[in-house]
Amino acid sequence: MQARPEDTFDQIFRDYGGRLQSDELESTSGMLDPPFIVSQLLHRARLVVHSFKSTYPHFFPKDIWIDIIRNPKFNAIATSRPDRDYVAFFSGMPIPLSYLFFDWLSHPDVLSDIGNAAVEKQQFTDLRTIPFWIPADEARREYCTKLLVHALDFIICHELQHLFLGHTDYLRVRFGHAEFPEIGMTRLQSLRPCDFRALEWDCDRAAIRTIYCTLRIDFEKGVHADTYATLDEALRGLMLSLSTVFSFMSFYESRLNSGCESTHPHPQTRCYLAATAVYEQALQDEDREGAEHIKNVFLSAHREAVSIWNGFRTCSFPIEYICCEDDIKQMYRDVIRLKKELKPYCRYCTDMPSDWRELIR
């Protein structure tokens, strides 16, 4: 009899903590109930996969199973096995992110143009002991949910791209690595940090472009009408969320904090790269002025997120607004070089990044 995918999942990720059973999380009442948040993540992840599958069936030469790992770290892993692909999220990813967004919006000075911020009561917070604040204003609570959905969609799409873009197969065939782990894991000794970062950006770039296109189409259909009045506002929400995810990952990346080289680009660089990736995409649908405008909406939302983050004074290092042009140039060079090696493993033909000089202006 063939093993059930959830059992194989449990076996594959046993060293990381194994599969989380739905009844293992302690339940609390209200919107921050961990079992509810985790089930929402899985539901969302499966929706995203379903929509990819119906649009691009050739991205899925085999079945895929998505599940949660018991380990409460902030992390995710993609792995490709002969009969099935697997994407694993650690239980520590969706829950702290939810707490963070709810906590932020409970402060009257944070995103004060959203809903009625005057009714919010929070005056102090510390990320190391995240208190369970929930915004008093309903519109602000809804906004938190929207930020969380953007974050989860991005993380899901990013992990799927490790499979689609051939990273997992490339690492398996070239170096014998079974998985593509994100932050906080044992470093892949055979892969230089700059190559690891280039692969991460490869995924970010494809993920953000997909999400941007989906958001745009959804917006035109009126899907976001209840939360966002304009597409600019929707793009702002998306970038506020992404910038937070990138900073949050850095905050929790112990290797980075202890001075080791990072597996992912710096949060600033990732935000710039996200803005340039959207700009690249927008140039296909808009004139240059429209695309520039979209890029600027992204960068200004990123600045907003950085100022919120620093306002909470909880980081061990300040996240400064710096232009990381050299970093970006290097990333373009690395990814263009790696793309040639990835080609035989890639499940779809991706366009090469545009010339960075066009994008960083």
Instruction: Give the nearest distance from C-beta 167 to Zn ion in angstroms.
Output: 8
The residue among 44 and 167 lying less far from Zn ion, judged by its C-beta, is 167
The 3-state secondary structure of 82-107 reads CCEEEEEEECCCHHHHHHHHHHHHCC
Instruction: Give the nearest distance from C-beta 255 to Zn ion in angstroms.
Output: 15
The residue among 172 and 293 lying less far from Zn ion, judged by its C-beta, is 172
Q: Which stretch binds Zn ion (CB under 5 A): 40-48, 195-203, 279-287, 300-308?
A: 195-203
The residue among 35 and 193 lying less far from Zn ion, judged by its C-beta, is 193
Rounded CA separation 197/324 (Å): 15
Instruction: Give the nearest distance from C-beta 77 to Zn ion in angstroms.
Output: 9
Q: Which stretch binds Zn ion (CB under 5 A): 118-126, 180-188, 215-223, 281-289?
A: 180-188
* Residue (of 59, 246, 82, 86) closest to 165 by Cα position: 59
Q: Which stretch binds Zn ion (CB under 5 A): 96-104, 146-154, 194-202, 226-234?
A: 194-202
The residue among 154 and 272 lying less far from Zn ion, judged by its C-beta, is 154
Instruction: Give the nearest distance from C-beta 183 to Zn ion in angstroms.
Output: 8
The residue among 71 and 106 lying less far from Zn ion, judged by its C-beta, is 71
DSSP output for 193-251: HHHHHHHHHHHHHHHHHHHHHHHHHHHHHTTTTTT-SSHHHHHHHHHHHHHHHHHHHHH
Amino acid at 308: I
CA distances from 97 to 149, 150, 228 (A): 10, 11, 21
Rounded CA separation 337/192 (Å): 13
The residue among 178 and 225 lying less far from Zn ion, judged by its C-beta, is 178
* Region 200-259 residues binding Zn ion, contact defined as CB under 5 A: 200, 203
Instruction: Give the nearest distance from C-beta 218 to Zn ion in angstroms.
Output: 24
Contacts with 226 (C-beta within 8 Å, 6 or more apart), sequence order: 142
* Region 78-137 residues binding Zn ion, contact defined as CB under 5 A: none
The residue among 203 and 234 lying less far from Zn ion, judged by its C-beta, is 203
Contacts with 188 (C-beta within 8 Å, 6 or more apart), sequence order: 171, 175, 177, 181, 196
Rounded CA separation 70/96 (Å): 14
Rounded CA separation 227/23 (Å): 32
Site string for Zn ion, 139-178 (x = CB under 5 A): ----------------------------------------
The residue among 205 and 236 lying less far from Zn ion, judged by its C-beta, is 205
Instruction: Give the nearest distance from C-beta 159 to Zn ion in angstroms.
Output: 7
Instruction: Give the nearest distance from C-beta 304 to Zn ion in angstroms.
Output: 25
Query: For Zn ion, how many residues bind (rule: CB under 5 A)?
Result: 3
* Region 10-69 residues binding Zn ion, contact defined as CB under 5 A: none
Instruction: Give the nearest distance from C-beta 235 to Zn ion in angstroms.
Output: 23
Contacts with 102 (C-beta within 8 Å, 6 or more apart), sequence order: 31, 32, 132, 133, 134, 135, 141, 144
Rounded CA separation 162/144 (Å): 28
Instruction: Please report, as ranges, the residues that interact with Zn ion according to CB under 5 A.
Output: 182, 200, 203
